[in-house]
Amino acid sequence: MVLRASKKIQLMRFYIFICGLVLNAVGLSLDAVEPEKHILPLAKDMIRSDVYRADKNLNPQAVLILCPGYNGNGGELVSIKAWQDYANDSNLGLLGLSFASEPELFSKGRGYYYASNGSGEVLLRGIKKIYGRDLPILIYGFSGGAHFCSRFVEWSPKRIKTWCAYSAGWWDEPLISQVMPPGIVACGNEDERYGATLTYFLKGRAAGKPWTWVSLPKTGHSPSDKLDEFVRSYFTAILKSSLSPKGLWKDCGTKVRLTPVQVKQYPTLAVWLPTEDIGTKWEAIHHP
């Protein structure tokens, strides 16, 4: 009887060990925070306005917002261990966007993609309600999330610390403003949205914005773990820098360092990078 009980305990321990390996393999954690759903008021042309909180920080320095594809559930993104660990290690709030609108509205310039139409204000009020105060914002969106992210940044640049918009189908014209937060525009080079996304970056650079262009090799329209890792490093560099980091510039094609004179002469060829270390990481991930 003792031997049988011992074997059962061993089998149970082995089962728990295997479950742990599987959870880690898919990016989850046994001690991960269960996302807490917050239902926010609906703005015009919205049919859902929820956010999911998944951080343990009582007094975060800023909030990181992850935005999924169109009408997606951001609770799934903030359940990922890598993002929860990053938020907690960086003393950040962590929110997953879960906004939705009727699909036919988007091509008409309506719906939650368009932050200036009400969805942006819903998010800002939600942040204040959840954390008890206004917080600086880091925001990262893919596909439909990139639509919202890029327009939210243009609509409320003073609240944005840094951002990344990855592969939207179409973009608004970049706006020239006094406050232009640094950010990443990215796309896979096998994604049909590549041309539109690159054009958006070039127009932003022509307007003098401190943007980074990332072209992902052999990548279609799909999330990218490598880009996620780069974004976390980039965001960390911004958080650790001064309010107006000097950074450096490199040629988006040749990757060579550019002088201020060269940047002024050929602005659309220039990629801004916050530090030398991020410049090295950019060279590894970016393939024009």
Sketch out the chain's domains with CATH numbers.
Answer: 32-243 (3.40.50.1820)
The mean pLDDT value of the chain amounts to: 91
| SS3 (DSSP) at 50 | strand
Instruction: Specify burial of residue 19 (Cβ count, 10 A radius: 0-12, 13-18, 19+).
Output: exposed
> What is the DSSP secondary-structure string of 167-236?
--S--PPPPP-S----EEEEEETTSTTHHHHHHHHHHHHHTT--EEEEEETT--SS--HHHHHHHHHHHH
Distance separating alpha carbons of residues 276 and 58, to the nearest angstrom: 33
Residue 10 has pLDDT above 60, yes or no: no
Residue 5 has pLDDT above 50, yes or no: no
Under 8 Å between Cβ of 67 and 32: no
Residue 51, strand partner residues:
38, 97
Residue 216, strand partner residues:
188
Which residue type is seen at 137?
A: I
Q: How confident is the model at residue 32 (pLDDT cuts 50, 70, 90)?
A: confident
Residue 2 has pLDDT above 50, yes or no: no
Distance separating alpha carbons of residues 274 and 161, to the nearest angstrom: 13
Helix (H) or strand (E) holding 140: strand 137-142
- Angle formed by the axes of helices 225-240 and 81-89, nearest 10°: 10
Alpha-carbon Rg for the chain, nearest whole angstrom, is: 21
Interior/surface letters 144-179, b for 16+ CB within 10 angstroms, e for the rest: bbbbbbbbbbbbbbebbbbbbbbbbbebbebeeeee
Under 8 Å between Cβ of 189 and 287: yes
Distance separating alpha carbons of residues 239 and 234, to the nearest angstrom: 9
How much is the average pLDDT of 265-275?
96
> pLDDT, tens digit, for every residue of 96-117?
999 999 999 999 999 999 999 9
Q: How confident is the model at residue 129 (pLDDT cuts 50, 70, 90)?
A: very high
Give me the helices (H) in the chain, please.
Answer: 2-25, 74-77, 81-89, 119-131, 144-155, 194-206, 225-240, 260-265, 276-285
